[in-house]
Amino acid sequence: MTTPDPITRPEGGETRELKVLVAAPRGFCAGVDRAIRIVELAIERFGAPVYVRHEIVHNRYVVESLKAGGAIFVESLGQVPDGVPVVFSAHGVPKAVPAKAEARGLDYIDATCPLVSKVHRQAERAHEAGRHIIFVGHAGHPEVIGTLGQLPEGAMTLVESVDDVAGLSPSNPEMLSFLTQTTLSVDDTRDIVTALQHRFPAISGPRGEDICYATSNRQDAVKAIAGKCDRIIVIGAPNSSNSLRLVEVAERLGTPAHLVQRGVDVDPAWLDGISTLGITAGASAPETLVREVIDAVAARRSIVEEVVITAEENMVFKLPRGLEAA
């Protein structure tokens, strides 16, 4: 823990000092940082506009900042004109998407997080071994759509809960594998995997953990502060899976939690009558938004800020070929 940093008392509001526990790690992970840098370097290299299929990461502030720099965000390749580069988001895309881009002669840059790409390769290997894959994830999430789209239709079955496991009826229970979305609840996923292994003892899984290090670390950080807080604020987008999971983690430990995107979203009523507030940020939220939220809290209450560190992160992912020089 760092030494508490007292901040000037605001005018008005409750006079009692509010302790603010800031979780660490929080905010940007290596995959998000890489994806944003890819868009920035693509604009540098090719000039504006550069098209991006889907939000590069799930954060409105980041998306708007990149738009201001020359990025145009679309939901399908049909919205991309001929002769301009397109970037695929960090969540990954089905194999049909780059195939369509190549058929049209489009230059594309794949910003898929390397940890998501790892899951794609695991799926291919399991399929080649003749195994049917049970994929644990949230239906409709871009990462899930991209992963399911790595294999022919019917090669994977999606499950979202322990109850879904009970309803499975594979044709060959001896030839199953499981994989998971990278941004799930660690605890929920453990329960689902346990249920799969209990029902299908021969099922195989990845050697390492599919849930990414950043998702696990941010959930562990929330667990470390939740019991000390009267309330927790999570900074992230409503379509950000890893941010939503942080809210769930806090609330399961009995601590009320709120998801906000900006400082203006902080409800002053949340700060009334509490002595300790926790703050964290999902993996797509930049640190500038963390400071913005802390400033919004400090405008209402006199605060003492304390950073609670539960892990150190030093992961860095390489940029795609052709962009390193830029």
Peptide bond into 25 cis (omega under 30): yes
Selected catalytic residue, list 14, 44, 55, 143: 143
124 catalytically annotated:
no
**Total length of the chain:** 326
Please give the Cα distance from 239 to 121 (Å, whole number): 26
Please give the Cα distance from 52 to 278 (Å, whole number): 34
- The residues, ordered by sequence, that sit 6+ positions from 59 with a Cβ below 8 Å of its Cβ are 236, 237, 240, 261, 282, 284, 285, 286
CA neighbor of 38 nearest in space, from 4, 81, 89, 95: 89
Structure tokens at 311: 């892990």
Helices (H) and strands (E) counted in the chain, each on its own, are: 10, 13
| Angular region, 251: left φ>0, alpha ψ -120 to 50, beta rest | alpha
Please state, in angstroms and as integers, the Cα–Cα distance from residue 288 to each residue in 24, 127, 306, 312, following that order: 15, 43, 17, 20
DSSP letters, 270-303, are GGTT-SEEEEEE-TT--HHHHHHHHHHHHTTS-E
Beta strand ranges found along the chain (DSSP E):
5-6, 18-24, 50-53, 71-74, 86-88, 108-110, 132-136, 156-159, 176-180, 231-235, 257-260, 276-281, 303-309
Catalytic residue list: 143
